[in-house]
């Protein structure tokens, strides 16, 4: 059913909770897991992002991706990683299309009310606009 699964990660405890679900799916369907970290370079962050800061964020993203890839490979799952720059939801969707992902699996951060309205949600935007199914894992705790 699924040959290519996209797992966007950001190093948060919420994102961590999606990983076991994705690895279980990958084992069940003998799928490749694509682990993606997006460095947010949207205009909302433009004032704080400079050359050194951007490089630091990319290095942290690579560390997160490498750790998840290593965990997948230790379970015998074909796992590849990438770090990209851009608007997170758009970059996730672009990557999914480029790599033929048949499902995107990601965590929700559990925001509600005014906080959700004001901050928005990358997961929510992906769910609303993805051309493939999106598996969401609600963060607990």
Q: What is the CATH number of the domain that holds 68?
A: 3.40.50.620
Q: Which residue has the tokens 């490089």?
A: 55
pLDDT bin (cut points 50, 70, 90) of residue 141 is low
Beta-bridged to residue 13, according to DSSP, are none
pTM: 0.88
- How high is the pLDDT of residue 30? 97
The residue segments making up the domain with residue 13 are 4-138
Predicted local distance difference test score (pLDDT) of residue 41: 85
Among 27-36, 38-47, 102-111, the minimum mean pLDDT is found in: 38-47
Number of domains in the chain: 1
CA pair distance 113, 58, nearest whole angstrom: 31
Between residues 116 and 31, which one has the greater pLDDT?
A: 31
């Amino acid at each position: 059913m699924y040959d290519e699964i996209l797992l966007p990660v950001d190093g948060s405890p919420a994102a961590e909770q999606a990983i076991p679900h994705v690895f279980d799916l990958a084992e069940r369907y003998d799928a490749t897991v694509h682990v993606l970290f997006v460095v947010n370079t949207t205009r909302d962050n433009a004032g704080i992002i400079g050359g050194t800061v951007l490089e630091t964020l990319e290095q942290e993203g690579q560390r997160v991706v490498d750790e998840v890839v290593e965990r997948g490979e230790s379970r015998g799952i074909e796992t590849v990683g990438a770090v990209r720059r851009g608007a997170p939801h758009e970059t996730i969707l672009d990557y999914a299309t480029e790599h033929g992902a048949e499902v995107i699996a990601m965590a929700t951060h559990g925001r509600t009310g005014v906080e959700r309205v004001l901050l928005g949600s990358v997961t929510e935007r992906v769910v609303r606009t993805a051309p493939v199914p999106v598996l969401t894992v609600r963060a607990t705790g």
